Structure 1
Amino acid sequence: MRKYIIILIVLCIIAFGGIFMEKQIVNGEKEELYILAKERMTDFIKKNYKDIKSIDYSDDCEVNPMRGIDIKGYLNGDKQKEIWGIYDKTNDEIGSFTVDAEKKPECEDKICEY
């Protein structure tokens, strides 16, 4: 009987350790993905919009089940000029987005390469 209790305790420790390690990997992956999403969103905005001096991103981000990351922020230190977009890692592009800024003339009818 004592042997079974020890085996059960060891299995529980291994299971909880595995869950903890998985959470650490997921959080590290999320941070890496968020950094990449901010870089691509910055490239996208600076290439397609006029008079962008600075971009500030919020710290809250969400990774959707399709591995896209929801990113929010504002432009030029003005919290009224909001930005939002979804970075699609698979296609390495910004999918859906809203940017409270004026588009560059050459990018009005299309999205310019970024």
Structure 2
Amino acid sequence: MKLESDKKERVKDKEQFLVIEAREHMEQYIKEGYKSIEQIVFSSEYDIDPTGGVEVRGYLNNDRDKKFSGIYDPTNKKIGVALVDAKEK
């Protein structure tokens, strides 16, 4: 049972690493591509699809109505698809 527990822990650690990486890339994507971004708040919720893409979401500038979401592709190290409720630069 110890081996199974260790394996689950390694999977969880890798998952957390991917979520942190996805959030970092999403933050950079928003700051580089959109105007008037003062604050980016990430939700604690995320999804990892069967192909490994990591979807992160949250809101902007302390306004819960200004939502964003994006899917991070860890293979290519970039945001593939994103929806951001802000004006593009």
TM-score interval (norm. to shorter): over 0.9
Counterpart for residue 49 of structure 1: 34
Identity of aligned residues (%): 38
Q: Which consecutive residues of structure 2, in runs of 5 or more, have no partner in the other structure?
A: none
Choose between structure 1 and 2: higher strand proportion. Answer: 2
User: Is 2:45 the partner of 1:39?
Assistant: no
**Greater relative CO (CA pairs within 8 A, separation 6+):** 2
User: Deviation at 1:19?
Assistant: 1.6
CA RMSD, aligned part only? 0.8
User: Is 2:38 the partner of 1:30?
Assistant: no
User: Is 2:57 the partner of 1:72?
Assistant: yes
2:76 to 77, 88, 91: 91
TM-score, structure 2 length as denominator? 0.95
**Hey, what's the Cα distance between the residues in 1 that align with 2:87 and 2:4?**
47
> Larger deviation: 57-66 or 76-85?
57-66
**Hey, what's the Cα distance between the residues in 2 that align with 1:25 and 1:67?**
16
- Aligned residues, how many? 89
Q: Which consecutive residues of structure 1, in runs of 5 or more, have no partner in the other structure?
A: 1-15, 105-114
**Hey, what's the Cα distance between the residues in 2 that align with 1:29 and 1:57?**
19
**Hey, what's the Cα distance between the residues in 1 that align with 2:49 and 2:3?**
23
For residue 71 of structure 1, what is the amino acid of its counterpart?
V
User: Is 2:39 the partner of 1:18?
Assistant: no
Stretches of 4+ aligned residues off by more than 2 angstroms? none
**Hey, what's the Cα distance between the residues in 1 that align with 2:17 and 2:2?**
23
